[in-house]
C-alpha cells in the first residue's frame, strides 16, 4: 500500500508541526508514576536470577542443578537443556541468551532460577555446580586477529573472502567498499596523512536496567511486559526460541528508561518465559547494573587505519581505511556500517574501505546510536583535521571543498539526493561559537558526519472518538518523545489541536507489526504511517459528510478540521466539524478509523557538523568542554525541542565516549569497572549548554520531508572532541578515551605515536 507521494500531497505550511507542546508522557515521568520494566507485578510472581560464567572462555563439561532444585522455594531452573539447539538466524541469539558448549565471556548466562524470593534465588544459584574447563581467552581485536589467538568458534571461516580460508579464525567476515583507484589518487596528492587509531568499547549507559515480567498459561499462551525498543522483535524472537506460535505470545512495552540501541535485542526475556513456563507461575527478572555491564550489549572496540591524500589547494585525491571491529563473542559487529559511513561526507574519486568483523571473549555487542559510525568518523575526521592543518586550510573550508552533495556517489554506492551537509557546514561557520576566541590550553575541534537513517515496517491505527478527539495507536516504543511528534502530525492532517490527539504504544496483539525503534526510523516511518492513516480517516470523514449532505464524495473537501462542500454543484451546506461527524458516526456507518501499514522507503540521510571548544589542564590532564555546537539537517523538525534534545543527547554521549568511557578488562578477561562509579558517564556539571542549529533540507516527494535525527548526532563528537583536545594539547591523540592519565602521558611523550 504505497503512500500517495505525488507533489500535491507534500505539505509545506504547518499549523501544528514545528510547535513545542508538552509531551503526553511528561507528567507521569517527572512525577514517578510512569511504569517502567520493573514497575509491574502479577499474583504469585516469582523472582528470576541468572547464573553467569566467571570465566572469559571455558568449556562447560556439565551442569548439576540437583541441589538447587531441592532448595525450598525454588520453582524452576533452566539451562541449555531447556532450549532446543538451532542453526538458523536465531542461533547466535539463543547461544548468547544461554551458553551452550562453551561460556564465551565473563557474564555469559549458564543457568537461571525462578524462586519465591531474591534471596532464595541467589542461594539456589550458589548451589548450581558447573564443571568448567577454563580455556585461553582474547579480548583485544588486534590480538584476536593474530595467528596464535585462541579461537572462539571452531567452525568460524571468514566470510566475504575469496577463496574462503581453510582455517577457522576469529575473523567472522570481511567487507570492502569503494571505487576509483586509490594508488593513482595518492600519487596525485601533495600531502598524504595516514594514522592508526584505537577506540574502546562503551556502553549505551541507559538508566533503566533490563527488566521484564513473563507469564505462560498451562495451555501455552504467554504474556510479557518488558522494557524494550521493540516489543514485536521480542515477541517474534522469544516465540522462535521457545517454539511458540507468534499468535500465542502477547508482549507489552513498558515505558523505557533509555535504550540507544542496547534494548533492540533480547537477553533475559526468553529466559523469563522459559522459567515461567516451567514454573507455571509468573516470573519477574531485573538485571543488576553489574549484569548490565557484563552481560548486555556494549559497542565494539576497534582498531583502525586511515590514509587521506589532498592537493595543496584542498582537493582530496584519495582516501583509504581499514577497520577492525570486535563484536564480542558472536559475529555481527557493525564494521560494515562503519566502513560504509567512514567517507560518506566526501565527494571522492578514489576511495577504498576494508572492514573486518572479529569475535573476542567479550559480551556480544549491541547497537549503540549509529552503530559503527562514531568510531569510523573518529579516525577519518581526525585525519581530515590533520590534513587541513598540514595544508594550512580552515577545517570547515576543507570540508566544504570536498563535501558530499546532491549527485555525489558515496563510497558505498548510493548516489545522494538532496542532502544538508553543506548547509550544516555553513551554519557552523556562521555560528558565533566558531568565532569565539580561544585562550591558553584551549582548542577547537570540528567534525562532520553522516548517518543513513532507516525506514522499515510500521503499522498505525487512528480512531476517531465520539467527541471528535483522536485515539492514535502506534507500535514503536517511545524513546524520545515520538508520541508527541505523532500527535502533532495527526493533528496537522486532521486540522485539529495537538491536545485533541492521544497517542499510545499498543501491544503486539492489538496492532500490526512494527520494527524496532532504532535506525532513527520512528519519526520518519511511523510519522509517514500516521500521516497516511490520518488521510485515510479524512477520506472517510469526507464520505460521511457527503452521505449526510447527499452529494458526491469528491464534492467534499477537508479544511480546518471540517468537511466543506466544494465545487459548483456541491450545494450550500454549513461545514461539518470533525466532532460533529464523529458524534453521528453510529448513524452514518459506524466507527471512523484510519489505518496504514507499510515498509517505509526513501528515508533520507542525515548529516551534521559539530564544533567543540575544550580546555586541557596540563597539570591534571582533565579536559573541560567550553562550548559545543551541533548543526544538523532534520529534513523537517516536527517537534523542534525534541529534535534539539536528540542532538544534545548525542553530543553528550559522544563527549563521554571521547573523554572517559571505556570497558576495562584485566588480564584474566574480566571487566574491572562494571559500575557507574568506575565507568564514568558525563554528568550535567561536566557539560556546557549544547547549542543547536536545525537545518531543514526536506526529503523530496514525501509528505513533510522528515529525516531521522536520533543517531547522526553521536557520530561527530569522538572526532570533534579528539580534534579539540589534540589542538589544545598540541599533540595528536589517536586513541580513546582521552582520559586524564592518557592525556598526561601524551603530553609527556609528545602524543600517542
* Binding flag, residue 586, its own copies (CB under 8 A): yes
The continuous run of DSSP H or E covering 318 comes out as: strand 316-326
Q: Which of 284, 352, 429, 595 forms a contact with its own copies (CB under 8 A)?
A: 595
* Binding flag, residue 506, its own copies (CB under 8 A): yes
* Binding flag, residue 66, its own copies (CB under 8 A): no
* Binding flag, residue 597, its own copies (CB under 8 A): yes
Listed ranges 155-163, 307-315, 494-502, 657-665: which one lies at the site for its own copies (CB under 8 A) = 494-502
For its own copies, the closer of residues 2 and 439 by Cβ is: 2
* Binding flag, residue 467, its own copies (CB under 8 A): yes
Separation CA 698–CA 13 (nearest Å): 13
* Binding flag, residue 469, its own copies (CB under 8 A): yes
- Cell numbers of 481, please? 518523545
Q: 271 CB contacts (<8 Å, ≥6 apart)?
A: 48, 50, 78, 97, 98, 109, 112, 285
For its own copies, the closer of residues 222 and 635 by Cβ is: 222
- Residue recorded with cell 596525485: 188
Q: Which of 257, 512, 698, 703 forms a contact with its own copies (CB under 8 A)?
A: 512
* Binding flag, residue 461, its own copies (CB under 8 A): yes
Listed ranges 211-219, 354-362, 432-440, 648-656: which one lies at the site for its own copies (CB under 8 A) = 211-219
For its own copies, the closer of residues 279 and 658 by Cβ is: 279
Separation CA 712–CA 605 (nearest Å): 9
The continuous run of DSSP H or E covering 193 comes out as: strand 191-199
Q: Using DSSP, state whether 488 is helix, strand or coil.
A: helix
Separation CA 573–CA 52 (nearest Å): 72
Taking a C-beta distance cutoff of 8 angstroms, is the pair 613, 433 a contact? Answer: yes
Listed ranges 105-113, 239-247, 415-423, 612-620: which one lies at the site for its own copies (CB under 8 A) = 239-247
- Cell numbers of 626, please? 567550553
Count CB atoms within 10 A of the CB of residue 698: 21
Q: How far is the CB of 472 from its own copies (least distance, A)?
A: 8
Separation CA 264–CA 97 (nearest Å): 14
Task: Report 216-235 residues binding its own copies (CB under 8 A).
Answer: 217-219, 221
Q: Using DSSP, state whether 115 is helix, strand or coil.
A: strand
Size of site (CB under 8 A) for its own copies: 66
Task: Report 521-540 residues binding its own copies (CB under 8 A).
Answer: 540
Task: Please give the full DSSP string across 624-669, using - where no structure is assigned.
Answer: EEEEEEEEEE-SS-SSHHHHHHHHHHHHHHHHHHHHT----B-TTS
E strands in 398-441: none
* Binding flag, residue 33, its own copies (CB under 8 A): yes
For its own copies, the closer of residues 35 and 67 by Cβ is: 35
* Binding flag, residue 499, its own copies (CB under 8 A): yes
Q: 446 CB contacts (<8 Å, ≥6 apart)?
A: 381, 385, 395, 396, 399, 428, 609, 610, 611, 720, 723
Listed ranges 135-143, 317-325, 446-454, 581-589: which one lies at the site for its own copies (CB under 8 A) = 581-589
E strands in 1-128: 46-52, 58-64, 74-78, 102-103, 109-115
* Binding flag, residue 402, its own copies (CB under 8 A): no
* Binding flag, residue 466, its own copies (CB under 8 A): yes
For its own copies, the closer of residues 280 and 701 by Cβ is: 280
Q: Which of 254, 459, 653, 735 forms a contact with its own copies (CB under 8 A)?
A: 459
* Binding flag, residue 89, its own copies (CB under 8 A): no
For its own copies, the closer of residues 4 and 467 by Cβ is: 467
Listed ranges 99-107, 245-253, 254-262, 437-445: which one lies at the site for its own copies (CB under 8 A) = 245-253
The continuous run of DSSP H or E covering 192 comes out as: strand 191-199
Q: Which of 161, 509, 553, 666 forms a contact with its own copies (CB under 8 A)?
A: 509
Task: Report 599-628 residues binding its own copies (CB under 8 A).
Answer: 599-600
Residue 174 forms beta bridges with which residues? 356
Three-state SS sequence of 314-373: CCEEEEEEEEEEECCCCCCCCHHHHHHHCCCCECCCCEEEEEEEECCCCCCCCCCCCCCH
DSSP-assigned letter for residue 21 = P
Separation CA 374–CA 86 (nearest Å): 34
Q: Which of 13, 43, 87, 167 forms a contact with its own copies (CB under 8 A)?
A: 43
Q: Which of 592, 631, 638, 699 forms a contact with its own copies (CB under 8 A)?
A: 592
Residue ranges binding its own copies (CB under 8 A): 1-2, 22, 24, 26-28, 31, 33, 39, 41, 43, 215, 217-219, 221, 236, 239, 245-248, 250, 456-459, 461, 463-467, 469-471, 473, 499-502, 504, 506-514, 540, 585-587, 589-593, 595, 597-600
Amino acid at each position: 500500500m504505497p503512500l500517495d507521494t505525488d507533489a500535491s500531497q507534500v505539505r509545506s505550511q504547518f499549523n501544528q508541526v514545528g510547535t513545542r507542546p508538552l509531551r503526553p508522557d511528561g507528567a507521569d515521568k517527572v512525577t514517578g508514576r510512569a511504569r517502567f520494566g520493573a514497575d509491574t507485578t502479577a499474583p504469585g510472581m516469582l523472582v528470576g536470577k541468572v547464573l553467569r560464567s566467571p570465566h572469559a572462555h571455558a568449556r562447560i563439561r556439565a551442569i548439576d542443578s540437583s541441589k538447587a532444585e531441592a532448595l525450598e522455594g525454588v520453582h524452576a531452573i533452566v539451562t541449555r537443556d531447556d532450549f532446543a539447539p538451532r542453526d538458523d538466524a536465531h542461533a547466535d541469539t539463543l547461544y548468547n541468551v544461554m551458553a551452550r558448549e562453551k561460556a564465551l565471556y565473563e557474564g555469559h548466562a549458564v543457568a537461571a532460577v525462578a524462586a519465591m524470593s531474591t534471596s532464595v534465588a541467589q542461594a539456589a544459584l550458589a548451589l548450581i555446580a558447573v564443571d568448567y574447563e577454563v580455556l585461553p581467552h582474547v579480548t583485544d581485536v588486534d590480538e584476536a586477529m593474530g595467528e596464535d589467538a585462541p579461537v572462539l568458534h571452531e567452525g568460524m571461516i571468514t566470510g566475504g573472502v575469496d577463496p574462503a580460508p581453510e582455517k577457522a579464525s576469529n575473523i567472522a567476515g570481511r567487507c570492502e567498499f569503494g571505487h576509483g583507484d586509490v594508488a593513482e589518487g595518492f600519487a596525485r596528492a601533495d600531502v598524504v596523512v595516514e594514522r592508526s587509531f584505537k577506540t574502546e568499547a562503551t556502553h549505551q549507559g541507559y538508566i533503566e536496567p533490563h527488566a521484564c515480567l513473563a507469564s505462560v498459561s498451562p495451555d501455552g499462551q504467554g504474556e510479557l511486559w518488558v522494557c524494550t525498543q521493540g516489543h514485536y522483535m521480542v515477541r517474534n524472537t522469544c516465540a522462535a526460541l521457545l517454539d511458540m506460535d507468534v499468535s500465542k505470545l502477547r508482549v507489552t512495552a513498558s515505558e523505557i528508561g533509555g535504550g540507544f540501541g542496547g534494548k533492540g535485542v533480547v537477553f533475559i526475556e526468553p529466559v523469563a518465559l522459559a522459567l515461567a513456563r516451567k514454573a507455571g507461575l509468573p516470573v519477574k527478572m531485573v538485571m543488576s547494573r553489574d549484569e548490565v555491564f557484563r552481560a548486555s550489549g556494549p559497542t565494539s572496540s576497534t582498531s583502525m587505519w586511515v590514509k587521506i591524500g589532498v592537493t595543496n589547494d584542498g582537493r582530496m585525491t584519495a582516501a583509504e581505511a581499514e577497520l577492525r571491529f570486535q563484536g564480542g563473542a558472536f559475529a555481527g559487529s557493525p564494521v560494515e556500517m562503519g566502513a560504509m559511513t567512514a567517507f560518506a561526507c566526501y565527494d571522492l574519486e578514489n576511495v577504498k574501505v576494508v572492514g573486518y568483523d572479529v569475535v573476542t571473549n567479550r559480551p556480544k555487542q549491541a547497537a549503540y546510536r549509529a552503530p559503527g559510525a562514531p568510531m569510523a568518523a573518529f579516525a577519518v575526521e581526525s585525519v581530515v583535521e590533520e590534513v587541513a592543518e598540514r595544508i594550512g586550510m580552515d577545517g570547515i573550508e576543507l570540508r566544504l571543498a570536498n563535501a558530499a552533495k546532491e549527485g555525489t556517489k558515496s563510497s558505498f554506492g548510493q548516489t545522494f539526493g538532496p542532502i544538508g551537509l553543506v548547509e550544516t557546514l555553513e551554519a557552523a561557520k556562521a555560528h558565533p561559537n566558531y568565532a569565539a576566541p580561544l585562550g591558553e590550553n584551549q582548542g577547537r575541534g570540528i567534525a562532520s558526519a553522516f548517518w543513513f537513517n532507516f525506514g522499515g515496517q510500521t503499522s498505525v491505527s487512528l480512531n476517531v472518538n465520539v467527541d471528535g478527539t483522536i485515539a492514535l495507536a502506534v507500535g514503536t516504543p517511545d524513546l524520545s518523545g515520538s508520541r508527541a511528534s505523532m500527535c502533532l502530525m495527526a493533528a496537522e492532517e486532521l486540522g485539529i489541536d495537538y491536545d485533541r490527539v492521544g497517542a499510545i504504544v499498543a501491544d503486539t496483539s492489538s496492532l500490526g507489526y512494527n520494527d524496532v525503534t532504532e535506525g532513527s526510523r520512528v519519526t520518519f516511518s511511523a510519522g509517514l504511517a500516521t500521516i497516511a492513516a490520518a488521510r485515510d480517516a479524512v477520506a472517510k470523514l469526507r464520505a460521511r459528510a457527503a452521505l449526510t449532505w447527499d452529494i458526491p464524495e469528491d464534492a467534499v473537501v477537508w479544511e480546518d478540521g471540517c468537511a466543506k462542500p466544494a465545487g459548483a454543484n456541491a450545494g450550500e451546506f454549513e461545514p461539518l466539524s470533525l466532532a460533529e461527524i464523529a458524534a453521528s458516526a453510529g448513524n452514518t456507518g459506524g466507527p471512523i478509523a484510519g489505518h496504514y501499514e507499510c515498509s517505509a522507503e526513501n528515508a533520507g540521510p542525515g548529516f551534521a557538523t559539530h564544533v567543540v571548544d575544550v580546555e586541557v589542564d596540563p597539570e591534571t590532564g582533565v579536559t573541560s568542554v567550553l562550548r559545543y555546537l551541533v548543526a544538523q539537517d532534520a529534513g523537517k523538525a516536527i517537534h523542534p525541542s525534541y529534535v534539539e534534545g536528540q542532538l544534545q543527547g548525542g553530543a553528550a554521549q559522544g563527549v563521554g565516549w571521547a573523554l572517559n568511557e571505556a570497558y576495562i578488562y584485566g588480564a584474566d578477561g574480566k571487566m574491572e569497572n562494571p559500575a557507574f562509579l568506575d565507568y564514568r558517564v558525563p554528568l550535567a556539571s561536566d557539560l556546557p549548554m549544547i547549542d543547536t542549529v536545525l537545518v531543514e533540507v526536506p526529503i523530496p516527494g514525501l509528505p513533510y520531508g522528515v529525516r531521522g535525527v536520533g543517531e547522526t548526532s553521536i557520530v561527530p563528537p569522538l572526532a570533534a572532541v579528539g580534534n579539540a583536545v589534540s589542538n589544545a594539547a598540541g599533540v595528536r591523540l589517536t586513541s580513546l578515551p582521552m582520559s586524564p592519565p592518557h592525556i598526561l602521558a601524551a603530553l609527556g611523550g609528545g602524543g600517542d605515536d
